[in-house]
Every structure is written in structure tokens, then in C-alpha cells.
Amino acid sequence: MSRFNQEVGERLRDARRGRGWSLLDVEAASDSEFKASVLGAYERGERSVSAARLWRLAQLYEVHVASLLPGAERTELDAEGVMVDIDAAETMPAEQGELVDRYLAAIQVMRKDVAGPTLAVRRSDLRVLNALIEADSPADAMKRLAERES
């Protein structure tokens, strides 16, 4: 098992978990394009993933394909697993909620992100959100905006 495959596998696992999906959830979301057993082998680094399939998984997980490759700075390319609940702004005071809604909508437009209940944010986005909601720290902002458990 190569170190490269292991690192790609770790990044694939992080991206999947960032969506809150199990291996079976990915299989279902991809209409069985990706079987859970094959995904598991990719994530454990036991099997190499082709560039075309890696690109397709990046689309499915809504991350930049480069963030799945070793050597890429994940902090600048995607969310590092930080998922923001798009509806979190509804629980904020009106002015703050509106600012957060507008900022998240701008991120979605700039990144051509598919509208969904959550949005992956970068570290720099989290700093801006921290200022918008007047949180004590980016970690506090992350807690306040994190995807809520159903």
C-alpha cells in the first residue's frame, strides 16, 4: 500500500465525513456509481482511484478536487470538514442573520456550490463569519454555525 494512496484515502474519508455521509450514503447518492466496498478500499489506501473517479467524488462531496491530493493545502482549497448550517442564521438577531445569509449566499455563488442545507467553509470564511456574528473566536463561530444534528 503506497503512502500516496493512504493520503488520498484519508482526504476522501475527511470529505465524506464533512458531508456527514456514511459509505452507504455515498453509494445511494451516486446511484450506485460508487459501491461502499470500493469506497472503503479507496479510503484505506488499499486501492488506487483514477483521476476521473477522483474528480467525480470531488463533485459528489462538493470539494475542490485538488484538496483530495497530497501536498495540496486543504485550508485554502476547501472547508477542512467545517460545515455551516445554512439555516443557522434564522436563530440570530435580524441584522446579524441577514449579514450571514448574504455572506453565505455570496460564497455559494462564487464557488458555484449546489444549494443544500449545509455549506463547506474555509478558514478565511470562518474568520469573516466570526466578525459578522460577533463570536468570541472562530471556534465559537464554528459551534454556533455548525450543522445541527437532526
The verdict on domain 3-76 having CATH code 1.10.260.40 is: yes
Cell numbers found for residue 21: 455521509
pLDDT of 72 strictly over 70: no
pLDDT of 5 strictly over 70: yes
Which pLDDT score, from 0 to 100, does residue 78 have? 45
pLDDT digit string, tens, across residues 77-135: 444 556 777 777 777 888 888 888 888 888 888 776 666 777 777 767 777 888 888 88
Which pLDDT score, from 0 to 100, does residue 119 have? 77
Range with the poorest average pLDDT among 7-21, 26-40, 108-122 = 108-122
- CATH number belonging to domain 83-145: 1.10.10
Across the chain, mean pLDDT equals 81
- Distant-in-sequence, close-in-space partners of 35: CB < 8 Å, separation ≥ 6: 27
Which pLDDT score, from 0 to 100, does residue 1 have? 67
Predicted structure pTM score: 0.52
Question: What mean pLDDT do residues 125-150 have?
Answer: 73
**Residues 23-32: contacts with CB within 8 Å, 24+ apart?**
26/60, 29/60, 30/56, 30/60
Which pLDDT score, from 0 to 100, does residue 123 have? 67
CB environment 54-74: b (16+ within 10 A), e (fewer): bebbbebbbbbbebbbeeeeb
- CA 136-118-122 angle, to 5 degrees, is 55
- Which residues in the chain are classed under CATH 1.10.260.40? 3-76
- CA 107-26-139 angle, to 5 degrees, is 45
- Which residues in the chain are classed under CATH 1.10.10? 83-145
For residue 15, which of 120, 147, 139 has the smallest C-alpha distance?
Answer: 120
